[in-house]
Structure 1
Amino acid sequence: MKLEATDDDRYDQSEFDRVIEQAYRELEYSRRIAQGIISNARDEASQLVAKAKTEAARLVAEARAQASTAQSAEVERQVEEAKHAYQQGFTSGLEKGADEGQRRFDAILTKVSGILEHLTVEREQMFDTYRQEMLDLVLKIAERVVRVEKETINNLLGENLVLLLEENPIRGEVALHLNPADVEEVSSYLVENGGPLPRHRLKSNPDVPAGECWVRGPELNLDLSFQRRFETIRDRLAERFGAGSSFSRRVDGRTDRHPGEERSAGMPGPKPESKGRSRRSPPSGPADRPDGQAS
């Protein structure tokens, strides 16, 4: 059976549709309102986030600036403390270092002083040792030179005899004792140079060493010899190297003089070689004459 819609039914349907449409409109409006609210909320949230970021950046910058300032102050404080500690340590270390340095310097100075003293003693000992050796060598050379001089310059003894007799005027006869090997040369020289006074006699005496002459008389008693010249050199060396040397003590204690020798203040020293003088053979005649020839 078919039912037909009545006017009331149609009215209800249209009212229902109107209500539904109104509900849709309200829903759409609400949706739009919600979207607007959401959009505004998003915008506000973005603004708030940006503002928060800006504020956070500002706060961070301020915090950093404050931290930097505080850090700088802390650094400066630490630097000042370090400087102060360094100065105190430097002063303390300087004092300790000075004390330690002085102690080490004193120790080194003591050691060096000991070494210098040892070297000084060693030097003196070496000098004394080699000085004696050098002096001995000089004496040997001097002795050899004088001996060679005596052997090559035979008229030197005659020259010294003339000087001796001229410097020591003596009254009375004086005997000039010569080694037989020297009589000829001395006689020749005395003849060439005028010779001594007639009262001075030459005597051949084998006891007289070659190159020497024993002068014997009432007022004069001395030896003119190679030994005398050598002792003169030795005395001068002793004076040169000091009276306290072992060489000087040995010279002062020498016992090599002739037993009958006496020294005279007027004894002439060595005379240099006469250049260019030729030797002559003694004139023939008696071996013992009062005019200066040998007896």
Structure 2
Amino acid sequence: MKHWRPFRFPPLIDGAPLEPTAAAEVQASAADGFRQGMDAGYREGFDSGEAAGRDAGYQAGLQQGRQEGGAAARDEALARFASIAAPLDAAIGQLQRLCRDYQAAQRDEVVELVAKVARQVIRCELALKPVQILDLVEETLAALPASAHSQGEVEVLLNPEECQRIRELAPERSAKWRLLADSGLAPGECRVRGAEFEADAGCQQRLEHCVDSLREQLRADPAAQAEA
């Protein structure tokens, strides 16, 4: 059986213990090395951080500069376009007003032409067949309440010339009412009068109603104006 004995490691520094002065120098040297290491690490970290920050700041500034520059260029282009387009917009607005005025004038001319043609047609029809005025009288009486013209005699006021011709051409129909000549009525005009009513049965007010309807239709519907 073997016997073991303890082994003692030799001291790192041979010889006698360090003098106080030597120990202080060793500590000072270690502290100086530590400071140098700290300074070197600080400078390296500062330089690395400064470079990274400079690069990041450059990229951020570049991106911001591009955005601000693009926005400024866009605003400037829009402002320049607006200044250039302003006279064109004014010209377009004036042209639109001229077109509306022209269409309104054209509409009025169309209505007046229709009214003129209608008057001519009515005048020719009544000249050939004046008895047609009695049809207007019957339509007017039919539109009134029966009680309005059931009492008393109905008087029909006509233009003197037409009154005479109607009596000659249709004596049977003329006998249904009392025909009276009225020099204040134009050809084609007629008034119906009873004990409790008086109504216009002439052509003029009917024509005016039709013309007003046509004018409103043309004003509301440009397509109808084109057709007219």
Q: TM-score range by the shorter chain?
A: 0.5 to 0.7
Q: Alignment partner for residue 210 of structure 1, among 147, 165, 187?
A: 187
Cα pair 1:211 1:225 within 8 Å, conserved:
yes
Superposed counterparts of 1:1-295, under 5 Å? 92=65, 95-109=68-82, 111-112=84-85, 115-152=88-125, 154=129, 155-168=131-144, 169=146, 170=149, 171-183=151-163, 184-185=165-166, 188=169, 191=172, 195=173, 198=176, 200-240=177-217, 241=219
Moved over 6 A (4+): 88-91
CA distance in 2, matches of 1:229, 1:113: 50
Give 1:239 shift: 3.4
1:193-230 CA distances to partner (integer Å, 9 max, x unpaired)? xx4784x2112333310111122332222322232023
Cα pair 1:157 1:186 within 8 Å, conserved:
no
CA distance in 2, matches of 1:236, 1:110: 46
Q: 1:226 to 1:130 in 2, by over 3 A?
A: same
Structure 1: stretches of 5+ with no match in the other structure: 1-84, 243-295
Cα pair 1:175 1:201 within 8 Å, conserved:
yes
Q: 1:133 to 1:202 in 2, by over 3 A?
A: same
Give 1:181 shift: 3.2
Deviates more, 1:160-169 or 1:108-117: 108-117
Q: 1:139 to 1:197 in 2, by over 3 A?
A: same
Cα pair 2:192 2:201 within 8 Å, conserved:
yes
The sequence identity of aligned pairs, in percent, is 20
For 1:174, the aligned partner's letter is V
Q: Please give the root-mean-square deviation of Cα atoms over the aligned residues, in Å.
A: 3.6
The number of equivalent residue pairs is 154
1:122-173 CA distances to partner (integer Å, 9 max, x unpaired)? 4134413441343134223223223313412535422211111222231222
Give 1:116 shift: 3.0
Normalising by the residue count of structure 1, what TM-score does the alignment of the two structures yield? 0.42
CA distance in 1, matches of 2:100, 2:168: 48
Structure number with larger C-alpha Rg: 1
Cα pair 1:165 1:196 within 8 Å, conserved:
no
